Amino acid sequence: MNSFPTNETEHPLADLLDTAFGVMRASAERHVPEIVLREVGTVTSVGEGIARVKGLPSVQSEELLQFRGGIRGMAFNLDPAEVGVILLDESTRLDAGDEVHRTGRVLDVPVGEGLLGRVVDPLGRPLDEQGPIHAVERRSIEQEAPPIMHRAPVRTPLQTGLKAVDALLPIGRGQRELILGDRQTGKTAVALDAILNQRDTEVVCVYCAIGQRSAAVAGVMADLTEHDALDYTTVVVAGGDDPPGLQFAAPYAATSMAEYFMEHGRDVLIVYDDLTRHAQAYRELSLLLRRPPGREAYPGDIFYIHSRLLERSTRLRPEHGGGSLTALPIVETEAQNMSAYIPTNLISITDGQIVLSPSLFQKGVLPAVDVGRSVSRVGGKAQLPAYRAVTGELRLTYSQFQELEAFARFGTRLDEETRQTLRRGRRLREVLKQDQYAPMPVAEQLAVLLAATEGVFDEVEPDRMAEAEEAIRTAVQESLSSVAEALREGQELTDEAKRELLNTAHTAVAPFTGSDEQ
């Protein structure tokens, strides 16, 4: 038998091998074998997005389970004879008889600054081909909502850049404002404009797409990239082609990512687009797992899954971080039926709603906000003081105009005061129109709205309103920078500043005045 010679020049690796063998021998001698008890279950059946497992007697609710091939699932139904599992990956690779292993932990996601500018799925896996996520830590997707004594009043405004929202339906940091309307009425557009308006602020944004078409999500991504909004935004995507379990987990995962920033003193805006599809995914899973159906076949706890999600949005007291999480959940209605099951539930949970009208959308009044049916329950408490001075009676005036306009269609004889109300109302409606991707700064909004309420536009033809408005905005930018800065910082609108704004507006609008319709 050959052996290593002792001549080091012939075999220089002899000493190295002897050392390695010595280390291995010492390690083997120190090793003490121990018995580890592991529960292993067996798949009994596989459905579309769910699986049934026998065994696992000690499995806990919502525990993460590991299947063959790296497929993950979440324990959902804990029945005496079997466990109903929500699958978080495609079920086509699973077969009856496959082994299932417990992980001893619940579903969690990565959180931290490394998620800004990234596109991920609800499990935290990157979808943007930009490498792995550099996370600070991992957090469970299910977190307890902050207790009452940790919450602060909602008094700081979150500017959306939309005149119709900031003036009439103010949103505060820590508020939950529902956006609802029929298909193709601009719900996502309102939420996107709110995200774009945070570009020069310290607000972090999270956009959660639930059950959306891939083309629609790609369009949102393109808009965020084009307007330089992706740098401060995290996008969580569970597309319509993804398993319903992934769609169900998406908003909770996105909220955990947002809560990290809130607990570190940051202000966060999160958009859930949309919770109608989230409820439908949960209904699908519940029916597949044979949970008892209720109204419209939704399970009995459909209210709870949304309330426990939205209750996590709040403003924290300074001693608890001082951050805020503002939620803009989106829900889709059918034929403007706000009394349907899911819209009614969400209206009762949130702090107000922005209602988008298909009729206004068809008339070209964009954003198609129905001022009469929209409300912000936080109201002027979360509005800059200057807005309260300018738009105090704006909502009432606009509502009166809409009512008068409906009666005027019958051709009745109108007195001069009524005709003046109609003339001013038509111009006010033109003022509230706004192009998408064009959020407006505070001072320019106030100048235009003040001009509308004080009658500066009364002699401007409706088809020239856009030009007159642009002239006022340009004049404010060029000649009232100090006033604009004061208003943006939240100072009161003084009489002198009001006069300056009105004088600037009159001068800017003068070239556009002309004969008016009778």
Catalytic residue ranges = 377
The string of DSSP codes covering 431-496 is: HH---TT----HHHHHHHHHHHHTTTTTTB-GGGHHHHHHHHHHHHHHH-HHHHHHHHTT----HH
Q: What angle do CA 397, 398, 404 make, to 5 degrees?
A: 90
Tokens of 491: 């100072």
- DSSP 8-state class, residue 286: H
Q: What secondary structure does DSSP assign to 291-311, as a single string?
A: PPB-GGG-BTTHHHHHHHHHT
Kindly list the strands in the beta sheet with 233-238, ordered across the sheet, starting from the edge strand earlier in the chain: 119-120, 233-238, 204-210, 267-273, 324-332, 178-181, 352-356, 375-376
The three-class DSSP label of residue 208 is: strand
φ, ψ of residue 2 in degrees (nearest 5) = -75, 145
Radius of gyration of the chain (CA): 30
Residue 173 DSSP one-character state: T
Segment (H or E) for 111? strand 108-111
**Tally of helices (H runs) and strands (E runs) in the chain:** 16, 16
Q: Provide the token pair at 425.
A: 């109302």
Q: Are 116 and 233 within 8 A, CB to CB?
A: yes
Q: From 397, 378, 370, select the one nearest 452 (Cα to Cα).
A: 397
